[in-house]
């Protein structure tokens, strides 16, 4: 009988980490593999400008041959189509002019969506014996021509925030104020470091650097609050759950640098509500689109931050209620065994 605690301790020490790692491995492959197994475009936004007699057959042909792949919006003029790209209403605009067609592509919209559209329209006009000139607007900076460095800023912020808050979450001492302070302090420290390193690698990101840094800080605070709240409420299982949802599933649903528009339905349905993709979109909006398209990302990140703080507050209340009976029992035991005066 006396050997059982020792055996249990050995199992927890050596077997538990192995099983946890294998579970994480299976979960990771299980989430990523279906997402990238057979990428297909869905609802990629495209603008059409030109005579209806020229643009409508194009929209009808794609609707018949690639249903659901593209979402077309018709504009009265080329200027309107360009304005739609500037506001991030569409990623690409096909303009039919008397001198021939022209495809206007927002480079910073991402290689996934723009690459699919460019390839599809190029093939259509090649089949008709026409060349399709391509004009790129809002390009990525030359030092980061595909936006990969910026996406890895997002990835690094999520993972490092998870680590920082998980280490704090394993400690019993800090309360709501202390944990909230660490969430804010880490966000304030990590954001300029992350964007500073990215700028050092890629070169100048322009005048939007500090706004992008503020967004990175907001993203860190949002994820940090969720991890801290889950840890306070559920302990180690809470940290594991936060890592699974707020980091792993979050990154998979973002679609990485190519975006979520090529992912299966379940991931695309979750993507708008997940912080990683919204943070990446907001950073690109600030740096390349003159702050366009920030409303939804700010709302999503704000909701995650509020939800994380709510979790932290509930976890604090549960911890205090659990501690009170234990304190009462200790005081009762002391009183019962104290010598009478």
Per-block mean pLDDT, blocks of 10 residues, the chain (341 long): 68 74 81 75 92 91 88 94 96 91 94 89 88 94 94 96 91 86 97 96 91 98 96 91 92 89 88 96 96 96 97 92 60 53 50
Task: Indicate if 116 and 260 belong to the same structural domain.
Answer: no
Q: Looking at residue 285, what DSSP letter applies?
A: H
* Residue 330 counted as domain residue: no
Kindly report the pTM of this predicted structure. Answer: 0.87
Q: Which of 111, 137, 163 is the last residue of a domain?
A: 137
| HSE toward the beta carbon, residue 210, CA cutoff 13 A | 1
Report if residue 34 sits inside a domain: no
Specify whether 131 is located in the same domain as 158.
no
| 246 in any annotated domain | yes
Neighbours of 221 (CB within 10 A): 26
Write down the pLDDT at residue 76. Answer: 92
| Same domain? 198 vs 277 | yes
**Last residue of one domain, picked from the residues 81, 106, 137:** 137
Q: Are residues 124 and 153 in the same domain?
A: no
SS3 143: coil
Assess whether 213 and 88 both reside in one domain. Answer: no
Question: Domain of 129?
Answer: 44-137
Residues 160 and 297 in one domain: yes
Q: Tell me the two tokens of residue 238.
A: 């809470």
What's the number of domains the chain is made of? 2
Residue pair 272/297 in contact (Cβ under 8 Å)? The answer is no
Answer yes or no: do 94 and 51 share one domain: yes
User: Which helix (H) or strand (E) segment is 100 a member of?
Assistant: strand 100-106
Verify that 300 and 202 share a domain, yes or no. Answer: yes
Domain membership flag for residue 128: yes
Residue 7 falls inside a structural domain? no
Q: Are residues 101 and 224 in the same domain?
A: no
235-250 exposure pattern, b = at least 16 Cβ within 10 A, e = fewer: eeebbbbbbbebbbbb
pLDDT attached to residue 327 = 47
Same domain, yes or no: 186 and 52: no
Contact between residue 137 and residue 106 where contact means Cβ atoms under 8 Å apart = yes
What is the predicted pLDDT for the residue at 16?
A: 73
Does residue 328 fall inside a structural domain?
no
Q: Are residues 184 and 117 in the same domain?
A: no
294 with 266, same domain? yes
């Amino acid at each position: 009988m006396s050997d059982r605690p020792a055996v249990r301790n050995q199992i927890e020490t050596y077997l538990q980490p192995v099983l946890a790692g294998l579970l994480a491995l299976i979960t990771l492959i299980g989430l990523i593999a279906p997402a990238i197994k057979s990428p297909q475009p869905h609802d990629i936004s495209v603008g059409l400008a030109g005579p209806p007699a020229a643009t409508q057959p194009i929209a009808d042909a794609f609707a018949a041959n690639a249903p659901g792949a593209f979402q077309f919006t018709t504009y009265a003029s080329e200027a309107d189509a360009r304005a739609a790209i500037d506001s991030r209403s569409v990623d690409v605009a096909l303009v039919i002019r008397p001198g021939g067609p022209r495809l206007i592509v927002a480079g910073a919209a991402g290689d996934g969506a723009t690459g699919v559209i460019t390839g599809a329209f190029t093939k259509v006009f090649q089949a008709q014996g026409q060349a399709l000139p391509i004009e790129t607007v809002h390009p990525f900076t030359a030092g980061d021509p595909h936006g990969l460095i910026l996406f890895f800023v997002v990835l690094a912020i999520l993972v490092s925030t998870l680590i920082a808050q998980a280490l704090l979450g394993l400690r019993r001492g800090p309360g709501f104020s202390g944990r909230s302070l660490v969430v804010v302090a880490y966000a304030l420290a990590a954001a300029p470091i992350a964007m500073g390193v990215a700028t050092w690698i890629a070169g100048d990101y322009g005048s939007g650097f500090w706004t992008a840094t503020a967004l990175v800080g907001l993203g860190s605070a949002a994820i940090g609050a969720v991890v801290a709240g889950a840890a306070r409420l559920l302990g180690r299982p809470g940290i594991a759950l936060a890592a699974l949802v707020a980091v792993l599933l979050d990154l998979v649903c973002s679609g990485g640098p190519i975006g979520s528009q090529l992912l299966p339905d379940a991931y695309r349905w979750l993507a708008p509500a997940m912080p990683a993709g919204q943070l990446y979109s907001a950073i690109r909006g600030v740096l390349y689109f003159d702050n366009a398209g920030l409303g939804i990302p700010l709302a999503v990140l704000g909701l995650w931050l509020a939800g994380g703080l709510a979790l932290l507050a509930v976890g604090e209340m549960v911890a205090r209620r659990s501690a009170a009976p234990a304190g009462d029992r200790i005081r009762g035991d002391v009183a019962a065994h104290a010598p009478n005066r």
